[in-house]
Amino acid sequence: MKGGPTYKILMLKKHLEKFNIIIDLFNQWEVDSVKNYDIVHIFNAHSGVYHFAQSLKLNNIKYIVNPIFFSKHSPMKIRLYLYFLNKISNFLNGTISEISIVKEVCKNAELIMPNTIEEENIIKKGLGLFNYNYSTIYNGVEKRFLYSDPSLFIKKYKIKDFILHVGHIGAKRKNTLRLLKALKTINYPTVIIGNVLNNKEGQKCLELIKENTNILFLDWVKHSDPLLESAYAASKVFVLPSLYETPGRSALEAGLAKSNIVITPFGGTKEYFSNYATYVNPYSIKKIQESIINSINSNRSDNLSIHIKQNFLWEIIAKKLKTEYEKLLTL
């Protein structure tokens, strides 16, 4: 499965091309070719694109940026951090930090396109970029998950209406260890789909999975595999209690497939799931337990699926982005 930014690029490319927009993926060995394009769209404001963005600015080539920036720290702490970093850099021959790079790449863009309004507020208040052009472009979801058929998964594994979690097991941000500890006292069928990272947390997670007889563990299922769609549709509850998500692609897919969603409140998830999901404190095992149990006991509803269909299909996201491109070309 492609990582978040790469997946977003490919999905937007696919749907923008339906509007007869010519989209080429950047080749770092053909830097001079960018002069032939009307707009350069950068995804992820990090050190790997810093010099490229600087070059675009020097050559008066318009670019827009999806920063993909999130911090659990308050805007005040971010500002103080930047202040001290700037002071220190004077003694370190102009060494620039990752957070300073985010600011510089955003500052020189014609348009800043955060994934959420929450991200926009962090950039404005934390990085001090108030008087700049912003337009929120949300992450999307493929329409195929709306038509997911639960029968494929049910026939293969003889299980339905279960708790489902999909993700990298052992990644600290994904918080799988706390989830598995919460599941120890919930006597309910559970399916975990994901690859186990080769680290201490990953091994601890694997031990808990093996100890829990309620858990069916499946190694990574390809994103294109109909079995994944079917797993979403066959589940009763999809749980993603990460430390933060922006917004959690798997949760969007599961929500479109009509599973009840339990998810972190951090990272802008409420802008996607509104009041159609259960938000859980990811630092509390007890709260994770309670939220899962409440969702098990709640009836299924089409409300979240309808909400996602109306607002977050890639076709809708691409259409808004097309409008932003057109606005930029008239400047």
What are the DSSP calls for 118-148, one per residue?
HHHHHHHHHH---SS-B------B-GGGGG-
| pLDDT value at residue 271 | 98
Asked if CATH classification 3.30.565.10 holds for the domain at 143-310, the reply, yes or no, is: no
Tracing tokens 């007890």 back to the chain, one arrives at 286
CA dist 81 and 304 (Å) reads 39
| pLDDT value at residue 36 | 87
CA dist 84 and 92 (Å) reads 12
CA dist 97 and 105 (Å) reads 12
Tracing tokens 């348009």 back to the chain, one arrives at 111
Where are the chain's structural domains? 4-140+313-329, 143-310
Any alpha helices (H) in 31-74, and if so which ranges? 47-58
CB atoms within 10 A of CB 15: 21
Q: How large is the C-alpha radius of gyration of the chain?
A: 21
Asked if CATH classification 3.40.50.2000 holds for the domain at 4-140+313-329, the reply, yes or no, is: yes
Contact between 264 and 280 (Cβ < 8 Å)? yes
| pLDDT value at residue 91 | 60
Q: Where are the beta strands (DSSP E) in 176-294?
A: 190-193, 215-218, 237-240, 260-263, 278-279
What is each CA distance from 161 to 46, 74, 198, 231, in whole angstroms? 41, 39, 31, 10
| pLDDT value at residue 1 | 46
| pLDDT value at residue 3 | 64
The answer to whether the pTM exceeds 0.75 is yes
Residues whose CB is less than 8 angstroms from the CB of residue 165 and which lie 6 or more positions away in sequence, other chains included: 176, 179, 190, 191, 192, 193, 194, 238, 239, 240
Tracing tokens 């008087």 back to the chain, one arrives at 131
| pLDDT value at residue 5 | 87
- Decide whether 4-140+313-329 matches 143-310 in CATH topology: yes
| pLDDT value at residue 81 | 83
Walk along the chain (331 residues) and give the pLDDT tens digit of each residue. Answer: 456 889 999 999 999 999 999 999 988 777 778 888 999 999 999 988 999 999 999 989 999 999 999 888 888 988 888 888 777 766 656 556 888 899 999 999 999 999 999 999 999 999 999 999 999 999 999 999 999 999 999 999 999 999 999 999 999 999 999 999 999 999 999 999 999 999 999 999 999 999 999 999 999 899 999 999 999 999 999 999 999 999 999 999 999 999 999 999 999 999 999 999 999 999 999 999 999 999 999 999 999 999 999 999 999 999 999 999 999 998 7
Residues whose CB is less than 8 angstroms from the CB of residue 16 and which lie 6 or more positions away in sequence, other chains included: 23, 318, 321, 322
